[in-house]
Chain A
Amino acid sequence: MTEKTGRVLRIEKISLNDGPGMRTVIFLKGCPLRCAWCSTPESQQFEPEVYYVKKKCVGCGKCVKACKQQALTFNSESKTVVRNRTRCVNCFDCVAVCPTCAQGCYGKDMTVSQVMQHVHRDEVFYFHSQGGVTLSGGDILCQPEFTQAILQECQDSGIHTMAEMDMYGNYDRIGMLLPYLDAFFVDIKHMNGVEHEKWTGKKNDSILANIRRASKECIKDAIHVRVPVIWGVNDSEENIRETIEFCRELSNCAELEFLPYHRLGRSTYDYLDREYQLPALPTMTGKEIRDKLAFLKGMDLPFPVHFASNGTETE
């Protein structure tokens, strides 16, 4: 039997933001949603994608010469390589010749054991911090067999496992992962189906139904609900209250965490020649999100509520 291969965007070491302790976070490529605020647009498409970072470019013109599709031209005024994305076939010849890595590729194929090599290297950090592995995306449900194999390997080594899931689509893929997960994150982006479709491109009915079902079938207190709070999209008191009521009915909801809007992925859109979908909104500070959700105070909830930080202030 040949080993399972998956498409990985990147592997992050000693992450402090995706579960307890120090964690290795494996980001997979491919996602069915197209959230307008997405901070990792390079994870959306399943196929590997070429990107270009102007700051690193020295204007040597090697990529222009190497391109068989004639998709690249050099704009001598702005000293920039311009890519015609309709001509580009993502062959990555330009990436191979670029001396400064200004041309690069998002996404690479890795085997389960290649991924696990990275995981095993950081065991000493899991040990001291009670950390482990988190699988993230994109949406890992686009590659359920690969994900399952990694989680199983982790479990075989006694490594704590978590995953971040969009919960969109057919439940079976979620069911096959639950036995291998110590805990998992689910995102609730909007409670209103129409609004959800408007901002993410997909309806939310399967998402909500899958979360409900998973909450019954998972181990105790395994679900961590996250809500990205975006100016003018889902930050109304009504929507937040609905979200809370939804969580209240879940069994095994360990916490509810609000993530304030940030623009850290903004430049990646430029690298990919894509338009950022939202207007110029400011980063939401920790204080702003706490003020905005001040009405939560005094609510009697069966789980704790947390606010993530954007690192914009000392908290």
Chain B
Amino acid sequence: MSYMERVNRLKERVLNTRPEMDLENAVIATKGFEESEGEPWVVRKAYSIRKQCQEKTVKIWDDELIVGTSASKQRAGLLNPDTCWSVLDKEFDTINERAYDPFFLTEEDKKRFTEIIKPYWKGKSTYEQWMTQIPDETRSLRDVGALFVDRKGVRGWGETTAGYETIINEGIEGIRAHIKQVRDTLDIAKAGDYEKQVYLRALDMTAEGIVTLAKRYSREAARQAQEAKDPKRKSELLKMAEVCNRVPEKPARTFWEAIQAMYIYQICIFMEQNAASYNPGRMDQYLYPFYKADIEAGRITQEEAQELLDCLWVKFSEPCLFQDEVTAQFSAGYPMFQNVCCGGIDERGNDAVNTISYMMLQATAEVQLYQPSLSVRYNMARNPDKFLKKISEVLKLGLGFPAFHNDEIGIQMMLNKGIPLRDAWNWNPCGCVETNLAGMQRCYTAYADFNLGSAVEFTLLNGKSRKYDKLASIQTGNPKSFENYEAFLDAAKQQIAWEIRALVCGSHVNDYIGLQRVCPTLSLSFKDCIDNAEDYAWGGAKYNLGNGVDAIGVADLINSIYTVKKLIYDDGKVDWDTLLDALDKDFEGYEDIKRLCDDVPKYGNDDAEVNDLASDLFTFIADDIEDFSSHFGKMTPGILPVSGNTPFGLEIGALPSGRKAFTPLADGLSPEQGTDIEGEGAVIKSVSHIPHARFTQGTLLNARLSSGFRSNPRSTVEMMNFLRSMCTLGVFHVQFNVVDTETLVDAQEHPSEHKGLMVRVAGYTAYFTELGEETQNDIISRTMHDGLTGCC
């Protein structure tokens, strides 16, 4: 395709640009807060955003058709000082070199940080509040690696799907009219209306800022057009000037305008709060009408539309998530999690696949960058075979995309959250695999993680952490005192419940602090936030939910419990003293015990008894999480590890499953590394015994196929059949890495030769060479199935 030359040049520039911290926005924002002192907090936030829009550096790079960056640099990490200035303070001297997600920090920025940012914000950020207010039981478990709860101290909201469709179709102009309409109904003599008036003023301020920024891009394009020598580029720049002058201020009229409107808004919400997972959602649904109209009017060819989409795909790969070094271990690879979705059904329950659905898959196949995260909603009853075939073909490219979602289970998850069917049909994947609803749903979809390996360890050590040699959890008794297996299982469940409880306590504190974490720019596209004059952070959205609580170490838990059942209680092959001693010594000198542990049937091989235990444990976990509520609604369970299985694993000793001490846990729903010997079929059969629809924030399954599978002439057709089988079984999600071990090992040794090598980590794709070594090893050690086949 002729346009690929441009796309490849754009792509090369992104690949060759080193991620840098960029403090320009933070400096402007700080000045904004300073200038607006005395105003209400939300107005000050809005003022600081508008000021960034007015003053930040505006750049258009060569070859670009779609423009905009949140920062002044192309691959930049943004710091929101009001959220977490102190993280950078702590890592001031190490962030350039840290193992996970290093950022280059210039001397100039260091100076600006020390002189402007730090003095103003010291003691005021939400992260500092979190560190002070974290509840004792949560802190105690966090400190031994049984919980990971700091993520939301560092990041802003994210984990949401803005109402991009509103921005595109109504324009900021339309939204401002809506704001005015609501404001006209207010009377500040009436209690509560002053607050609303204040809030609407803040909304309008950010709305104005967005338009200002777009106009600045328009002027920059016009300026470059004047200087451009190449007539083709000149006319492109003039067109870009016209587009940015029009949108997002006014409703989009063309495909190009729709894409540009969407992207300007995207950089503004990221500027407002550095966070992962601002999900563009169902682009095929909201872009198709523009494409169709353009084609019918002869304004665009399919090839030109594809080029624009490809250019947008490159833009999605530019921003880099800034987070502290620990959080970076839990989600490594600068992951932005901008999840775009195609397929599924429409508001009447009919097939929603259209030309754009295929073009989105094509864009991912052509651009081959780590973002956006491309997801498909596959509805087996409604979507055509041709769509499934295209999905299978792209899967086989080995990009780790698209993430395959079983539509019917996604809909069930929405219903289970209490969202009625008329809206549930419009769900979209969010971040990794969470379920979301554009412009309507509010919660942290992946608030925090709890370590199921730790729960097993606490059960064995009566509440103690092996690594830290201290009591960190509740005491459920010395295992030797358990009368029978049921008593042991009950103790394990108590430990799990204690972890969940501690997370919920943390979540409530976080919700409380989060009331200050206002986000008027994001709220602009949530219709109900305007109607209620209430920020997203305060619960202004149509559907407010309790935060997402994620289980990590699924296979480790199941296998450990089952091994104890078999070896100690059923067969009496080992006694507690011997097993505990063997675990304490990490099986050194206890190779025979390790062999016995290894030989017990493992999760992932479709063993009936193990499957049954999996159902029991995860029904218990879903029940337990859903028994808690926050101010915003029922807490929501999920199974999405991101890369947290690695740092969690490094915190716990050997487990009865046969897992060695301080090694990664199993990721997501996957079997433990190397224990799934019966092939992918047995894996998804096993996985289907986890009650997926109960885990309403999604469940994640990673699979890896050998590159040899691709050469099988039947691989596409059988991949389709495999995915259909998965849907029939009620499994929610699967993603495939198609890459051979040799390539991965070689990439580890010669990273410079494999710069563009992408792997699916867990719910997202990253450049393999940018991952830390432990995560790399974890990926290499995932069992590779030769095709889908397995043996027993």
Contacts and interface: CB of A to CB of B under 8 A. Distances in A.
Interface of A: 10-17, 21-22, 58, 60, 62, 97-101, 118, 121-122, 124-125, 127-129, 309, 311-315
B56 interface: no
B592 interface: yes
- Name the residue among B729, B789, B790 with the largest chain A CB count within 10 angstroms: B789
B792 A13 contact: yes
Given A99-B595, A121-B606, A13 B708 contact: no
Interface in B625-650: none
Contacts of A312: 711
Contacts of A101: 595, 598
B792 A10 contact: yes
Given A13-B682, A13-B792, A16-B787, A22 B711 contact: no
Contacts of A17: 712
A314 B725 contact: no
17 contacts: A13-B791, A14-B679, A14-B722, A16-B718, A16-B788, A22-B718, A62-B592, A100-B595, A122-B681, A124-B685, A125-B722, A127-B728, A128-B721, A309-B713, A311-B711, A314-B711, A315-B711
Contacts of B787: 14, 16
B591 interface: yes
A276 B729 CA distance: 44
Interface size class of B (residues with CB under 8 A): 20 to 34
B399 to A, nearest CB: 16
Nearest to B788: A14
B790 A14 contact: yes
B728 A11 contact: no
A62 B787 CA distance: 36
Closest 9 CB pairs of A and B: A99-B591, A129-B721, A311-B708, A14-B681, A128-B721, A99-B595, A14-B788, A128-B724, A13-B679
Interface in B335-351: none
Contacts of B680: 14
Nearest to B596: A99
A125 B161 CA distance: 35
A118 B717 CA distance: 23
A129 B726 CA distance: 12
B715 interface: yes
Given A22-B718, A101-B595, 16 more contacts: A10-B792, A11-B792, A13-B682, A14-B680, A16-B718, A21-B718, A22-B681, A58-B591, A99-B595, A124-B729, A125-B722, A128-B722, A128-B728, A129-B717, A129-B718, A314-B711
Nearest to B680: A14
Contacts of B678: 13
A233 to B, nearest CB: 25
Contacts of B679: 12-14
A22 B711 CA distance: 16
Interface in B3-45: none
B714 interface: yes
A314 B710 contact: yes
Contacts of A311: 708, 711-712
Interface in B569-620: 591-592, 594-595, 598, 606
B789 A309 contact: no
A11 B682 CA distance: 12
Nearest to A129: B721
B391 to A, nearest CB: 15
B713 A315 contact: yes
A21 B721 contact: yes
B715 A16 contact: yes
A13 B592 contact: no
A145 to B, nearest CB: 23
A129 B718 CA distance: 7
A130 to B, nearest CB: 8
A121 B604 CA distance: 13
Interface in B661-702: 678-682, 685
B721 A99 contact: no
B450 to A, nearest CB: 32
A62 B708 CA distance: 37
B713 A12 contact: no
Contacts of A62: 591-592
A97 B718 contact: no
Interface in B284-331: none
Contacts of B722: 14, 22, 125, 128-129
A16 B785 CA distance: 13
A309 B712 contact: yes
A84 B266 CA distance: 71
Contacts of A60: 591
Contacts of A16: 712, 714-715, 718, 787-789
Contacts of B788: 14, 16, 22
B785 to A, nearest CB: 9
Contact of B592 (A99, A124, A127): A99
Contacts of A124: 685, 725, 728-729
A99 B595 CA distance: 5
A106 to B, nearest CB: 12
A200 to B, nearest CB: 26
A141 to B, nearest CB: 23
A105 B603 CA distance: 23
A312 B708 CA distance: 8
Contacts of A313: 711
A312 B707 CA distance: 11
A258 to B, nearest CB: 15
A264 B582 CA distance: 38
A127 B710 CA distance: 23
A241 to B, nearest CB: 26
A225 to B, nearest CB: 19
Interface in B534-580: none
A127 B724 CA distance: 10
Contacts of A97: 592
A13 B790 contact: yes
- Name the residue among B598, B711, B712, B717 with the largest chain A CB count within 10 angstroms: B711
Contacts of B714: 16
B681 A125 contact: yes
Contacts of A127: 725, 728
A290 B519 CA distance: 65
